[in-house]
Amino acid sequence: MKILIPGAAGAIGRKLAARLQESGHDVIGIDRRAWPNAPIEFHQVDVRKRAAEDVFRRVRPEVVIHMATVTSLVVSKEDERSLINVSGTRAVFEYARAFAVEHCVFVGRHTFYGAGPDSPLFHTEDEPPLELDRYPELADMAAADLYASTALWRFPELTTTVLRLCYSLGPDGHGTLAAFLMGRRVPLVFGFDPLFQFLHEDDYVSAIALAVAKRPRGVFNVAGPQALPLSSVVIEAHRTPIWIPEFLVSGLQGRLGLPRLARGAIAHLKYPVVVDARAFREHTGFHHEHDELETLRAFREAFPLSR
């Protein structure tokens, strides 16, 4: 099959491209970021630009995996992030319809549901996003996710799969959770210890590849092993947890070797975002290869710190 991946130059995108190519697919990547010596056909273009449309027109892919979304850690200017996530998603689905793509996969995030004191522990796909006002960095991602879901009724001839994946972690060290755990000391909010749900990078890629193979129509949470309290994640990663009272968190971040957090991220250090991923397992037969402890071991062996 011809598979086009907008956002292919990201860490997961590269892995996914390689995996799909190995299994015999014809993989084409586009991304605004560079990918020197890419092992696949790669075009460095912005997904919202004419040149990207030309790639769709020429390649005529059967499957599109939309990964060209960003979180606040990568792009600092907020307006631009919002444009990439929302108008980029719109562009991808417009091209997909215009060029008769059969299956479009939107790779979204489980943080869609938001973290708050009153949100339930396991989120199901029918829940609306909450707490967006407190975390504007996630609002445009949630908008892109919901926009992608409209393709389910707007373009019935196109099979649409919206995935809400939990954090990835592993030897590549990319992604929100890995970035948070990279330093020696990791800040935690005193008196709170939310559950964190993560998948090994390889399982993360497998889940997306499985969505391509099985073509489930609808919205699906994707997670694997059981969630762990953040303090256990930090300790198992051989990092030092630093418990900071909430009123000091915003003042201390970025100092004393602590990472800088996005505005609103503090809620995610107090309350869990845990998803119920049964529907995806039932529709695709997905099962993770690496459990939570193996995944943490892989991360800490790739990024060791002497204590």
Per DSSP, which regions of 128-252 are E strands? 159-165, 167-169, 185-189, 195-196, 198-200, 218-222, 228-229, 240-244
* Number of residues in contact with other proteins under rule CB under 8 A: 26
Asked if residue 252 binds other proteins (CB under 8 A), the reply is no
Q: What's the min distance (Å) between Cβ of 193 and other proteins?
A: 5
Q: What's the min distance (Å) between Cβ of 96 and other proteins?
A: 34
Asked if residue 246 binds other proteins (CB under 8 A), the reply is yes
Give, as ranges, the residues between 180 and 209 that touch other proteins (CB under 8 A).
Answer: 189-195
Nearer to other proteins, 22 or 246 (CB): 246
Nearer to other proteins, 180 or 271 (CB): 271
Nearer to other proteins, 209 or 277 (CB): 277
Q: How far apart are CA 169 and CA 181, in angstroms?
A: 10
Give the x/- contact pattern for other proteins in 254-273, rule: CB under 8 A. ----------------xxx-
For strand 63-66 and strand 2-6, is the pairing parallel, antiparallel, or unpaired? Answer: parallel
Find the part of the chain contacting other proteins (CB under 8 A) among 5-13, 40-48, 83-91, 286-294. Answer: 286-294
Asked if residue 130 binds other proteins (CB under 8 A), the reply is no
For strand 228-229 and strand 195-196, is the pairing parallel, antiparallel, or unpaired? Answer: antiparallel
Number of helical (H) and strand (E) elements in the chain, helices listed first:
12, 13
Asked if residue 241 binds other proteins (CB under 8 A), the reply is no
Per CB under 8 A, the list member of 21, 87, 232, 253 interacting with other proteins is: 232
Per CB under 8 A, the list member of 100, 248, 252, 293 interacting with other proteins is: 293
Per DSSP, which regions of 1-54 are E strands? 2-6, 26-30, 41-43
Q: What's the min distance (Å) between Cβ of 27 and other proteins?
A: 36
What per-residue string of b and e applies to 185-204 under the rule 16 or more CB within 10 Å gives b? ebbbbeebbbbbbbbbbbbb
Q: How far apart are CA 169 and CA 87, in angstroms?
A: 28
Asked if residue 121 binds other proteins (CB under 8 A), the reply is yes
Look up residue 112 and give its DSSP letter: G
Cα separations (Å) of 84 from 60, 81, 207, 260, 307? 23, 5, 24, 23, 40
Q: What's the min distance (Å) between Cβ of 276 and other proteins?
A: 8
Q: Which residues pair with 275 in a beta bridge?
A: 123
Asked if residue 229 binds other proteins (CB under 8 A), the reply is yes
DSSP string, 173-196: --SHHHHHHSSSEEEEETT---EE
- Which residues bind to other proteins, rule: CB under 8 A? 117-118, 120-122, 189-195, 226-229, 232, 236, 245-246, 270-272, 291-293
